[in-house]
């Protein structure tokens, strides 16, 4: 099946090419199904074909494994906007009166997954945070192993979750860095750097936290912090602040680049081991490394990509994506292939010598790193909320509406199980080959000469294809 990602109909999960209403098919784990709703003329696929997509195959591999919804959180209404301001934003005078009368009373808001799912180091589950300040570890059965209220602020902005080798959970909230102690489950702020905090950070193999700062040019630099919030060392960058985060390579070197293309390689004690200056404003947020750690890659706004030696800082090659881009997002596969994603939905791959292997054009701007799985498949989230699975030849295996627009990227484990944040805010686990099977059967089940890949939407406990909703019931 050949999929052209530029010709995928964007229906947002609504029926496509249908003469009448939607259909819904419920499939239980004993592979029986029932059909409800309109049974008139078939749309892009008929009901029997739709049912067979999941009902013909047995076993967990062809079912949505589980879906986890974070608990809603209780808040108290405290502030009352002026009547004029309230009416302009929300409604009528009576709405404002009702709101004022409700001040001080509890109300509930639904929570949704706000961070990329991260596997816990103890193997017990997947760690996520919500948009209301809770951190969960969700087990392999979809049930919470533990929960921690990391922030009581209604406007919590938890992001950048990592687990240190010590077991502590490192995260950001409203730009500031915090640590969730693995043993005591206490939340402790990192205060040694104070307000001079950059946007991103990374955690080294020994638990050292690397953070760039850019609030005061005289004080700008890279800090190495111990887990106890003491400063291990500082490397100053007074000319230009760091862009993105310092990253530890496979050989233990810490590399980073500044906004104007200056590249630094540091030893583990913070001493400069190599340095170079490349022309142009950088586009990539973070450096990425070859599997052996001998090469580092970074990108520029003119669309060029540079390969730099981590030993001596010399430039190995500079190649072009073929399109200017404000931002670049990069990943490296186990075979050394470099994946570079940028604006206008373009994904380009280069081999270790800088030779372009293939390029892929998606249906929306790309704002996340490509995810390269152990199997070699590439998973790319695009700005329209679609998730693309791309094979080693640059061809799409499947495309699904599986996330909200600009949602956090999914996590993909070694057997290509996807852990994704859905539009409803749930965390969902589903096998990649389940989606591929859906796409293949939906394609083959169409009537007429002109076949096209319908929009596939993966939701909380259902799959929708061509206006037919497949709801899965666990028996």
Determine the pLDDT at residue 118: 94
Determine the pLDDT at residue 32: 39
What DSSP designation does 366 have? B
In the block, residue with structure tokens 């294809």 = 465
CA separation, residue 55 to residues 174, 371, 431 (Å): 46, 30, 16
pLDDT at 119 over 80: yes
More confident residue, 29 or 59: 59
pLDDT at 29 over 60: no
In the chain, the percentage of residues whose pLDDT exceeds 90 is 36
In the block, residue with structure tokens 């739709």 = 50
- Which tokens go with 25? 């098919």
* Helix/strand/coil for 294: coil
- Average pLDDT rounded to a whole number, residues 202-220: 82
Cross-strand pairs, 109? 73
Lowest-confidence range among 115-119, 190-194, 320-324, 351-355? 190-194
Question: Quick one: pLDDT band at residue 470, thresholds 50, 70, 90?
Answer: low
* Helix/strand/coil for 201: strand
Lowest-confidence range among 206-210, 217-221, 432-436? 217-221
Determine the pLDDT at residue 138: 95
Question: Quick one: pLDDT band at residue 66, thresholds 50, 70, 90?
Answer: confident
- Which tokens go with 216? 């005061």
Domains and CATH numbers, the chain: 1-69+371-475 (2.40.10.480), 75-106 (no CATH), 112-167 (no CATH)
- Average pLDDT rounded to a whole number, residues 161-165: 92
* Helix/strand/coil for 352: coil
Q: What is the 3-state secondary structure (H, E, C) of 214-252?
A: CCCCCCCEEEEECCCCCEEEEEECCCCCEEEEEEECCCC
- Average pLDDT rounded to a whole number, residues 150-166: 85
pLDDT at 471 over 80: no
More confident residue, 464 or 29: 464
pLDDT tens per residue, range 229-255: 999 999 988 778 888 899 999 989 999
Task: Decide: 372 and 416 in contact? Cβ < 8 Å.
Answer: no
Determine the pLDDT at residue 464: 64
DSSP character string of 16-42: -S-SS--EEEEEETTS-EEEEE--SS-
**Residue 241: closest CA among 202, 176, 196:** 196
- Average pLDDT rounded to a whole number, residues 103-129: 85
More confident residue, 467 or 209: 209
Determine the pLDDT at residue 268: 92
- Average pLDDT rounded to a whole number, residues 331-354: 92
355-374: string of b/e by CB count within 10 Å (b at 16+)?
eeeeebebbbbbbbbbbbbe
- Which tokens go with 146? 């533990």
Task: Decide: 362 and 380 in contact? Cβ < 8 Å.
Answer: yes
What DSSP designation does 438 have? H
pLDDT tens per residue, range 381-417: 887 778 888 999 998 888 877 666 556 888 999 989 9
Determine the pLDDT at residue 46: 47
pLDDT tens per residue, range 168-181: 999 988 778 899 99
Size of the chain, expressed as the number of residues it contains:
475
CA gap 362, 345 in Å, rounded: 5
- Average pLDDT rounded to a whole number, residues 33-41: 38
pLDDT tens per residue, range 258-293: 888 999 999 999 999 999 999 888 888 889 999 999
Helix axes 432-444, 47-55, angle to 10 degrees: 150
pTM over 0.85: no
pLDDT at 153 over 60: yes
- Average pLDDT rounded to a whole number, residues 324-342: 91
pLDDT at 354 over 90: yes
Determine the pLDDT at residue 210: 93
pLDDT at 256 over 90: yes
pLDDT at 473 over 90: no
Mean pLDDT, the chain, integer = 78
pLDDT tens per residue, range 414-469: 989 989 887 778 888 888 887 777 667 666 655 555 555 555 666 665 666 555 55
């Amino acid at each position: 099946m050949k999929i052209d990602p530029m010709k995928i109909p964007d229906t947002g999960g609504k029926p496509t090419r249908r003469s009448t209403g939607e259909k819904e098919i419920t499939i239980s784990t004993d592979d029986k199904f029932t059909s409800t709703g309109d049974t008139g003329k078939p749309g892009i696929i008929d009901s029997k074909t739709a049912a067979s997509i999941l009902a013909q195959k047995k076993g967990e591999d062809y079912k949505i494994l589980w879906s986890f919804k974070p608990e809603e959180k209780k808040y108290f209404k405290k502030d009352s906007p002026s009547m004029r301001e309230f009416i302009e934003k929300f409604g009528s005078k009576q709405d404002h009166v009702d709101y004022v009368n409700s001040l001080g009373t509890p109300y509930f808001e639904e929570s949704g997954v706000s961070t990329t799912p991260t596997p816990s180091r103890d193997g017990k589950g997947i760690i996520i945070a919500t948009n209301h300040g809770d951190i969960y570890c969700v087990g392999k059965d979809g049930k919470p192993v533990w929960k921690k209220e990391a922030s009581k602020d209604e406007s919590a902005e938890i992001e950048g979750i990592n687990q240190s080798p010590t077991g502590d959970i490192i995260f950001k909230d409203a730009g500031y860095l915090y640590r969730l102690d693995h043993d005591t489950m206490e939340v402790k702020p990192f205060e040694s750097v104070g307000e001079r905090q950059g946007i991103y950070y990374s955690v080294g193999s020994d638990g050292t936290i690397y953070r760039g700062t850019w609030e005061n040019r005289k004080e700008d630099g890279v800090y190495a912090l111990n887990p106890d919030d003491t400063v291990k060392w500082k490397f100053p960058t007074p000319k230009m602040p760091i862009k993105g985060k310092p990253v530890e390579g496979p050989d233990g070197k810490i590399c980073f680049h500044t906004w104007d293309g200056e590249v630094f390689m540091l030893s583990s004690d913070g001493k400069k081991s190599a340095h170079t200056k490349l022309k142009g404003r950088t586009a990539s947020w973070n450096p990425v490394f070859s599997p052996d750690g001998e090469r580092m890659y970074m990108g520029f706004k003119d669309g060029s990509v540079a390969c730099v030696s981590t030993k001596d800082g010399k430039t190995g090659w500079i190649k072009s994506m073929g399109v200017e881009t404000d931002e670049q997002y990069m990943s490296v596969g186990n075979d050394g292939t470099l994946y570079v994603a940028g604006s206008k939905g373009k994904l380009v791959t280069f081999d270790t010598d800088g030779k372009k292997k293939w390029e892929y054009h998606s249906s929306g701007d790309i704002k996340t790193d490509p995810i390269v799985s152990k199997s070699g498949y590439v998973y790319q989230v695009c700005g329209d909320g679609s998730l693309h699975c791309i094979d080693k030849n640059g061809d799409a295996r499947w495309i699904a509406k599986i996330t909200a627009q600009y949602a956090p990227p999914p996590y993909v484990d070694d057997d290509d199980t996807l852990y994704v944040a859905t539009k409803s805010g749930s965390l969902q686990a589903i096998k990649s080959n389940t989606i591929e099977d859906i796409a293949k059967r939906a394609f083959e089940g169409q009537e007429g000469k002109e076949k096209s890949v319908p929009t596939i939407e993966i939701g909380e406990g259902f799959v929708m294809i061509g206006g037919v909703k497949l709801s899965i019931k666990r028996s």
